[in-house]
Structure 1
């Protein structure tokens, strides 16, 4: 047993360094199965964040599907989603640099299928009988204030895409039936987002593959329909929240049938195109993922016998699920397991690891396992969070001291904190800083009513829940009320800035590509989120006063604690001017502040050096402004207005 030493919280030496976090670590994304082979998208921070398609053959041989210089990433909706499709030995993928579709036969040099021009493609479905790839296409060539989103077909041999469906502001999930006779797809219009209201349509296809008159299967006002899929026998399945929970249904003889009515969620908010949360092992045998109390578990569903949980070690399963050889391929993790691409035997729950996201071996003594907490919040309601207490095998804090707390506010805001092992959280806890990852009102996984708590009250409900979560831990005696910090990215950055501006609970904070001015954000952001705030704040111009009232940039006179801002300079979702305006205002007021911009980064940091810099920079900033010593030397951050 190592000797346990006593040192102030925040000053503990830790083996979980920023360098370790980005070393030999990849992101595991889209999964496809073709024959006995498994293909997946792999994001590599060490290669400037490029996404590589990797193939694992049935004999276990693993190789990249294309060479250096290629990057399979789509910019549809800016967030992207599925970026490739497979047919035998042929790979079709979107190349990030020009957004054209490419084809690579048997590992050969990719060749372009689509013409030059600002056309973006995602959410692919192979229509083999007609030798074409059906997909969502986002057309930026038509002029006007917005791109045009359509369902299109691209010939497998190359050529101009043919538009099949248009007329809605957004579309998704084109899926051709197994017999090639029908196609389904989703649509929605401003100001809705896909978790608000969507419609699922079906149409017969003629011999040329053009859809006839469509029939609406499900959806409409306040019903979100997601993840449509055809069974092997051609029965349409879908997920709908018509009962208040995203549950599974099938459509037969013109009627919808609930397959497993339950207060669990079988889908996630569709931030990315192509996500799949269930797959077919037979005509009436479905394997699916569902969440309850913040954990995603694997289940088998049979319409006659109901839902059965498949026992696996995973509490976090990403929404890329594929049937394969009597089981499923998925990416799963847990509070103590790095995400890994695995094959799961559905009968036994036995797993075979195909690819690990990290080969790092961390002493369990440095891993903090979260406690799911429920705490009281405003209006007599309850909110949810995951609390990670400080943990370090070789260190303890003084008996008369309580640890600092970092409150994490997730992005979205229509999203959720997850239970998977995340080394950036362990970076803090292994140094003696607790972390509270808050699933504030508006988060997903707790039903539609919880999700809609944020409607009209963004910047209020989320902030209240972050503050009340911190207070809950203070009152329980877990953390130091004088050293409460808050951090968040994107929408979570907005919550952070609101909490620091409109409340006095926190001593410091960090905004990662967060929003400071709601009116500027609405004017500058991309099409997908351009009307998001109609629901979260109110429609413009009627709610203009409310936008100003909820914008931290207008109330910097209320700020009295230090703030650090991190920003990608190529961000099209939250443009850099948001951070720059906030930084100048803080500087002018004389508040300790710092601004760390990253060239070449977009929304979220993908380059290893920048991931390291953002972690270390945030820790360095807190240590300087809150006055605790660090156990390591970190690259300094230039802090304006820091007292000598």
Structure 2
């Protein structure tokens, strides 16, 4: 649902009725709507639509197919259209004809185009790359209604991810590049590229979707940037001299959807005690003032007791630590000891998020501790760390999760025989591999899991195919014959990212071997079980899974204690 906010009216429904806005471009979508001269342009999985300025009448289908990355131009809407042959940069005239013009075509991929004064900028990457590995920023001369001329590559290429180009008020082109090991902000003045403010932090998110915006320009010349350091985000202001000053805010997680209006910065932000909120941060004279525009959680949950995390650094190798967020059971006193759920995030280039997660609270409010692990390959720690899992998938991620579990067992916070691992998507693969190897895990839950990296590389949507090829080469297919701990597989029948066939085959193999495994197949559910209409059913099944193991787990607990002497 699309909503509209004004200071006078507050939040009001602005979206077309009985219409689900969302883009199928690159499988993950993004950039699903734009407003040009008070006229709404939006997409769903069937194509691009326009709505009259008065908001009345039916939506008009302008172009069918996978369209996204919409941005308002002058008298036109610009965007990305995905076809069977690759990607196209398109311009759609706002005149009555709604004529669609193809500005550029590629067998690879395009990012959201950005119109500037007499120019158009965009990012692009090859079909055998991911945008966080090798991505280029391009610019061309362009006038609305015309064509692209004098195309020039500004930055990026093999070994460099250059993303999020945006025209500044000074007429220069800004973008984010990891050429120095971290995604930092750069500026191109038409002749040379200059670093804006070198930071040992990520100034952009891994671009899974189109339309990300990690920075914006204040009217006093400063640049507002969302910066990630490990699991923690903060808002930073960069002045003309390149000095970066953090803004004191009660938020630790911010999505890459920054919008600036004058001296106000709009964010989607959260903290360990507040679920995602749309906020306006007013940065005039004096201390920043936060205005909450909309909240994601029901009001009845705002004052609910929650578990807040401790940030851990666990030594996993002689020269490397891993970061984790440990949530104790809700209301636990100091010295607590509890069953533990180790969570491997998806991606695997994603990261732990330092924000209120009601799924975490579901388990902590029922006596479990939960720990989120930023294993090798996670975003937030620089380019080398992010790429280090290539060819090592199923080994190093499992090793890091195991090291965190063993650390918490050694400190006495986790209970032997009651340590579980769960993950979704790529994290589901990690969880399954973890119970096929030696370690402390008594059971695993795998949601929307990848089972066979080779088959996944052949069936995954075009956008993620290069990622699948680079990750594989580690532990390989999940070996059903080596799984001797109870496994719960949860999967949607409509999953197009990781199809259900491999999970069904794994479940059948476990049954044939009389090994402990259960499959919960969810009809009409896609890749994102947590946001589906069957989410509570999946949580209840996971809880029952752990409780059944705890009830039957004395023998494993005794075996682990005898082997480890603790």
Q: One fold, TM greater than 0.5?
A: yes
CA-CA distance at 1:192 after TM superposition = 1.2
Q: RMSD across aligned C-alpha pairs, in angstroms?
A: 2.1
Residue equivalent to 2:66? 120
CA-CA distance at 1:201 after TM superposition = 0.6
Measured in 2, the distance between the counterparts of 1:298 and 1:598 equals 39
1:214 aligns with 2:214: no
Residue equivalent to 1:49? none
CA-CA distance at 1:625 after TM superposition = 2.6
Give the counterpart of 1:138 among 67, 82, 100.
82
Give the counterpart of 2:54 among 106, 124, 132.
106
Mean Cα deviation higher: 287-296 or 52-61: 52-61
Residue equivalent to 2:35? 86
If the length of structure 2 is used for normalisation, what is the TM-score? 0.93
The alignment partner of 1:93 has SS state of: strand
Residue equivalent to 1:258? 195
Residue equivalent to 2:210? 273
Higher relative contact order (CA 8 A, sep 6+): 1
CA-CA distance at 1:364 after TM superposition = 6.6
CA-CA distance at 1:419 after TM superposition = 0.4
Q: Is the 8 A contact 1:168 1:188 kept in 2?
A: no
Change (3 A) 1:133 1:606: farther
Measured in 2, the distance between the counterparts of 1:254 and 1:583 equals 59
Change (3 A) 1:253 1:531: closer
1:368 aligns with 2:303: no
Q: Structure 2 unaligned runs (5+)?
A: 554-566
Give the counterpart of 2:9 among 35, 38, 60.
60
- After superposition, where does 1:333-372 map in structure 2 within 5 Å? 333-347=270-284, 348-362=287-301, 366-372=305-311
If the length of structure 1 is used for normalisation, what is the TM-score? 0.82
CA-CA distance at 1:396 after TM superposition = 6.8
- After superposition, where does 1:486-565 map in structure 2 within 5 Å? 486-537=421-472, 546=473, 549-552=475-478, 555-565=479-489
1:151 aligns with 2:86: no
1:456 aligns with 2:391: yes
Residue equivalent to 2:560? none
CA-CA distance at 1:551 after TM superposition = 0.9
Give the counterpart of 1:170 among 71, 95, 109.
109
Change (3 A) 1:66 1:293: closer
Q: Is the 8 A contact 1:66 1:107 kept in 2?
A: no
In the alignment of these two chains, the number of paired residues is 550
The alignment partner of 1:80 has SS state of: coil
CA-CA distance at 1:213 after TM superposition = 2.7
1:184 aligns with 2:108: no
Change (3 A) 1:481 1:254: farther
Change (3 A) 1:582 1:207: closer
CA-CA distance at 1:332 after TM superposition = 0.9
The alignment partner of 2:462 has SS state of: coil
Measured in 1, the distance between the counterparts of 2:292 and 2:302 equals 20
CA-CA distance at 1:103 after TM superposition = 2.7
CA-CA distance at 1:208 after TM superposition = 3.6
Give the counterpart of 1:622 among 546, 554, 563.
546
Q: Deviation per CA, 1:47-103, whole angstroms, max 9, x where unpaired?
A: xxxxx110113413432123431111000011111100012432110023x233333
CA-CA distance at 1:363 after TM superposition = 8.0
Q: Deviation per CA, 1:484-535, whole angstroms, max 9, x where unpaired?
A: 1011110111111111112332101111000111222112111001121232
Q: Is the 8 A contact 1:66 1:109 kept in 2?
A: no
Measured in 1, the distance between the counterparts of 2:306 and 2:7 equals 35
CA-CA distance at 1:474 after TM superposition = 1.1
The alignment partner of 1:473 has SS state of: helix
